[in-house]
Amino acid sequence: MISEGMDYLITRQSRFVTVYLPLILIMFVLLFPFYWMGTTSVKPNSELLDMSNHNPLWVSSPTLQHFEKLLFETEYPAWMWNTMLVAVVATFLSVVASVLAAYAIVRIKYKGAQTIGGLIFLAYLVPPSILFIPLSTVIFEYGLFDSPLALILSYPTILIPFSTWLLMGYFKTIPLSSRNAP
């Protein structure tokens, strides 16, 4: 008799060996770095530095001193604020520009719309590393060097082609209109 599909998983032992054991190993490999970060962040310095007398996988006396130092004795909150500001504003600008561009390319019928769509795809394929030198020159010439505004204006150069290409595919799936709609 020829077995079909996944008939070999009928017994509990074969299912454990072929499905659950690999899943357990993969989960351990994927989750262990998070466990290590969590335990390391709450270990006191004495446990971090003296591994011969302390188990590196377990915390015997947890502390929050590292979080206190990070939040109150460094510039981390300001750095986090700058990061969030740049990310939110650059994403907003990219999404607005991409929605407008993708909608215009897909919905407005004009000569060359397909060519523009292809050029946007080619712009998406350009490696960002090629843009670094010309982009840094422009940023330096405008006096924006070492400012959040430089990042806010340069990130969309990478995000807009990608987002436009994705949104073009989305807008193509939406029906043009329905004459029988109420």
Write out pLDDT tens, residues 133-143.
Answer: 888 999 999 99
How high is the pLDDT of residue 139? 93
CA nearest neighbour of 57 among 75, 39, 37: 39
pLDDT tens string 49-66: 988 888 889 999 999 999
Greater confidence, 31 or 8? 31
Structure tokens at 119: 């050029």
pLDDT tens string 82-125: 999 999 999 999 999 999 999 998 888 888 888 888 888 888 78
Note whether 150 and 90 are within 8 A (CB). Answer: no
How high is the pLDDT of residue 81? 96
Cα 89 → chain centroid: 16
pLDDT at 73 over 80: yes
In sequence order, the 6+-apart residues with CB closer than 8 A to the CB of 63 are 42, 43, 44
Calpha distance 160→94 (Å, rounded): 5
Note whether 142 and 80 are within 8 A (CB). Answer: no
Reported pTM = 0.70
Compute the average pLDDT of residues 143-159.
91
3: pLDDT confidence band, cut at 50, 70 and 90?
A: low
Note whether 98 and 165 are within 8 A (CB). Answer: no
